[in-house]
Structure 1
């Protein structure tokens, strides 16, 4: 079975981009983490293995991965962009307190593009849904 990590490596090779240990570490972190990390979180996770790596290197690689299409940059109202390695159709619930992002998929929402196209005569190419609330961890803190 081909994994998202394998597909990303193949894409890098196809684009003639060097496969460095730092790039592999960034990709491994993105595929293993179940959150939507910021660039700073990616940096903090891999700088232990690569003490000489700079934040700029992490940002540059995340930008390149986004340009190649196997990583999605998520810009929300919060200060820092978050990155999503899962390109399967899904939606996000965002904690208004800590900024944590959780994925969910609700198939009945697939029809929203058809409805939007019919109601507006637009050629709809994609959609994005964000739901805001308070995550379970922050609910516990607020309840204390």
Structure 2
């Protein structure tokens, strides 16, 4: 059992229920408001300890800094290639992949780590707006030309 720490409890509370999977830097910035003398190293050590004991999970995508998730239930993550956000993806029968892999592997499958790459809804909206400004300008230009020709 780990020793109680007010700083660790503050980190735990900050992460609890969050959907945005914050980085250690984000955790540090927010916890520092309550504990001005806390160091980034202390935040990293506490995040590592909470991960080790299974209270949170660390998401390492290899793209950008690690993220942290309070939800330790089996689920996947989607990494947005546009903005870099990490979102939960709940899939039914998630453990079937372990069984499938176990059927093909001469050994014991103990789990898996996977994430999906994609584009979030907000970034898709931005892409759509960025892809269509010429169409809007063209429509405006045509309307202007039509009015000018009538004059």
Please give the TM-score of this superposition, normalised by the length of structure 1: 0.80
Query: 2: distance between equivalents of 1:120 and 1:64?
Result: 31
Asked if residue 89 in structure 1 is aligned to residue 42 in structure 2, the reply is no
What displacement does 1:26 show? 0.6
Asked if residue 101 in structure 1 is aligned to residue 80 in structure 2, the reply is no
Change (3 A) 1:107 1:32: closer
Query: 2: distance between equivalents of 1:125 and 1:119?
Result: 14
Query: 1: distance between equivalents of 2:40 and 2:66?
Result: 14
- Alignment size in residue pairs: 129
Asked if residue 115 in structure 1 is aligned to residue 100 in structure 2, the reply is yes
Query: 1: distance between equivalents of 2:115 and 2:105?
Result: 21
Change (3 A) 1:125 1:46: same
Q: Is the 8 A contact 1:38 1:81 kept in 2?
A: yes
Q: Is the 8 A contact 1:113 1:126 kept in 2?
A: yes
Gaps of 5+ in 2: 130-151
CA deviations 1:22-68 (Å, max 9, x no partner) are 22211101103222110001112222222222211211111111122
Out of 51, 62, 66, the position equivalent to 1:77 is 62
Structure 1 stretches of 4+ with a deviation exceeding 3 A read none
Q: Which residue of 2 aligns with 1:139?
A: 124
Instruction: Give the SS at the match of 2:42.
Output: helix
Instruction: Give the SS at the match of 1:61.
Output: helix
Gaps of 5+ in 1: 1-13
Q: Which residue of 1 aligns with 2:146?
A: none
Q: Is the 8 A contact 1:116 1:122 kept in 2?
A: no
Please give the TM-score of this superposition, normalised by the length of structure 2: 0.77
Q: Which residue of 2 aligns with 1:18?
A: 4
